[in-house]
Structure formats: C-alpha cells, structure tokens
Amino acid sequence: MLTIPFTKGLHQIGDGIYAYLQPDGSWGLNNAGLIVSENQALLVDTLYDYKRTGDMLAEIQKTIGLPVKIQYLINTHSNGDHYFGNGLVEGAKIISSEICAKEMKAIPPFKMAFLMKIWWLLGKGGRYLHKSFKLFDFGGIRLVLPHQVFQDSMILSVGKKRVELLEVRDAHTASDIMAYLPDDKIIFCSDLLFSEGTPVVWTKGVQSWIDALNKINSLDVDHIVPGHGPVTDKNGVSRLIAYFEYIYSETKKRFSKNMSILDASLDIDLKEYNGWGDPERLVTTVHAIYQELNPTMKPLSAVNLFAMMYDYKSHI
C-alpha cells in the first residue's frame, strides 16, 4: 500500500495520477486531482481563491511540463472551494452535473465575498464564518460555469486512461461527482469522503450518503482521494460509514426526547471520532437527521448552522 504524506502540494498516487493536497483539510482547504496521459490532462476541481488555484496550476505545470494542456476540468459539486478557481483554467472544457451547475448559479463567488465583508452584522454565525474563511481572498473571482452537464454518469478518455464520472444525489450536497479510474484502482471522491475530519452535511440525505460510501467500498480501488484530508483506502470509507451509523442511532434517541439540535449534538459522545478535525460540524449531521425524521421540519440556513456550530464549539 502506497503511503501518501499529508503535506501541501502535488503527490503522485499512480501512473500519471496525482492528488493536490491542502493540510489541514479544514474549511475551504480542499483536495484536487490531476490525471495525465499522452499529453492530455484532466483536473478534478479547482481551489477556493485565485491565489491558491494559481499556485496549484503553477506546480502542475512545473511537474507535467509545458506541452501538456488541461483538456477537462471536473467540478465535483457546488461548494465554492471546489470551483471558485475555474476562471484560471483557460481552454479547458468544464464538466459537472446538471444539478451542480444550477446550484453554482445560486451561490456565486460575489455572495461569499459580500458575506465576508458584512460578517460582523451576522451575529455568532458571522463570527464563525469569518474565523473559518478569513484565509481566503474572494475579491475579483468570476463565476465560471460548466460548459457541459450530465446526469447519473459519464465516461471520458484522457489519453489511454478511462475516467468514469459517477453522480451521487442528496448526500454532501444535492449532487456530488466521483471520478473513478477502474484500470488504475483509484477514485477521487471529493466531499463524499472527509478523511480524519468531521463531515459537513448540507442536505437531509445521511442515509443516501451512507449508500454512496457503500458503493465506493464495492468498487475495486486501492487509493481513495477525499475532498478534505489525507489520501486513504477503504478503511477510511468504512470509518466514515461507522461514524454516520453511530451518529444516526444516537440522534434518533435524542430526537425522541424532543431535544433541540444543539442540545442533542452536545449530548452525543463522539468517542473515537473526537480526534477528527472540526467536531462542531456534528451539528450539520444532527440537523440533517432531524429533517429525515421530521419531513415537515424547515431546514436552517447556512448562517444559522454556522451560529449553532459557534455555540457547540463554545461549549466543548
């Protein structure tokens, strides 16, 4: 088993296959991927701002050489840390799912830039937002949308390499894409997998997320690149499945007692998952499970969830 150090930059994980990693994998510090074959290249996601994306592209260019152009850019989902840098990848065909492209229009970069300017007006949610994202410069970022969209699945050829794009709905976001290389036994899972970090659930689809993770474990893969955190294998996937199943069971107990989302989150013993980064994100999972258990429940806004995470962090 190849061990990939969790250090910043481009790491080779297979023949012409690389992971670009950003420690410590917390808010906005996502991973990206690169597939190169016969002077063709595919990039899996960009980064959260132009500075970080530019640094990544410079390292890629230095590593793969000037003759290689990026033909394809895959945006795995609509969170800005995976697509705000699109404007710097010139000449590439940008591909994503149909649902993802619609969500990207709804949450363009200027909205994040605006929120970061008025964070002090947003109470505890704003304070959490500012602390979590102050590393990034959102000024001047253009909204660059996909040129091509698909549903369910799509197959691409990058030189001699076959890349299968697999869509999962209602898990981390309304639509998340994995890039699977069956011949190389490598998969880029994006935010369907958080490695050594607490996951963020923006939907009410915890059970569908578990189904997606079980699907990953059914594939013939040796190396798995998560959206955040160190490169892992199926053990990392199984660990996240166990986390979700445990939190689901514990949340149901507290839901039946009519506990609030925050009180239920604070009452759950994280046990072996306590060492994962950003434990306050547990709030988003409990919120999602409460929506599953009560379909009439109105979902909280992102700012309200940030406020609840602020409160959680203040109590632990």
Annotate 170-192 with three-state secondary structure: CCCCCEEEEEEECCCCEEEEEEE
In this prediction, residue 69 carries a pLDDT of 86
Residue 227 maps to a domain: yes
CA angle 55, 59, 61 (to 5 degrees): 115
Q: What is the CATH number of the domain that holds 61?
A: 3.60.15.10
The token duo for 80 is: 């800005």
* C-alpha closest to that of 232 among 83, 19, 26: 19
Q: Which two tokens stand for residue 312?
A: 């959680």
The predicted pLDDT at position 64 comes to 83
- Assess if residue 49 is contained within a domain: yes
Nearest to residue 129, comparing CAs of 106, 112, 142?
112
pLDDT digits (tens, 9 = 90+) for 240-267: 999 999 999 999 999 999 999 999 999 9
Q: Is residue 165 part of a domain?
A: yes
Bridge partners of residue 155, in order along the sequence: 164
Question: CA angle 39-229-269, nearest 5°?
Answer: 160
Domain extent at residue 65? 9-240
Decide if pLDDT at 205 tops 90: no
Q: Is residue 47 part of a domain?
A: yes
Name the band, by pLDDT with cuts 50, 70 and 90, for residue 65: confident
Q: How many CB atoms within 10 Å of residue 233?
A: 13
Residue-wise pLDDT for 69-86, tens only, equals 899 999 999 999 999 999
High-pLDDT (> 90) share of the chain, %: 95
> What is the per-residue pLDDT across 178-187, written as a single tens digit (0 to 9) for each?
999 999 999 9
Does residue 4 lie within any of the structural domains? no
In a domain, 110, yes or no: yes
pLDDT exceeds 70 at position 2: no
Question: How many domains does the chain contain in total?
Answer: 1
Q: Quick check: is 72 in a domain?
A: yes
Q: pLDDT tier at 3 (50, 70, 90 boundaries)?
A: confident
pLDDT digits (tens, 9 = 90+) for 83-108: 999 999 999 999 999 999 999 998 89
- The model's pLDDT over 111-127, given as tens digits with 9 standing for 90+, comes to 999 999 999 999 999 99
Q: What does pLDDT average to over the chain?
A: 96
- List, in sequence order, every beta strand (DSSP E) within the chain: 9-14, 17-21, 32-37, 40-44, 69-74, 93-97, 148-150, 153-158, 161-169, 175-181, 186-194, 223-228
- Alpha-carbon Rg for the chain, nearest whole angstrom, is 19
Question: Do the domain assignments include residue 147?
Answer: yes
Read off the pLDDT of each residue in 229-235 and give the average, rounded to a whole number: 97
The DSSP annotation for 268-315 comes to S--GGGTTSB-GGGHHHHHHHHHHHH-TTPPPPPHHHHHHHHHHHHHH
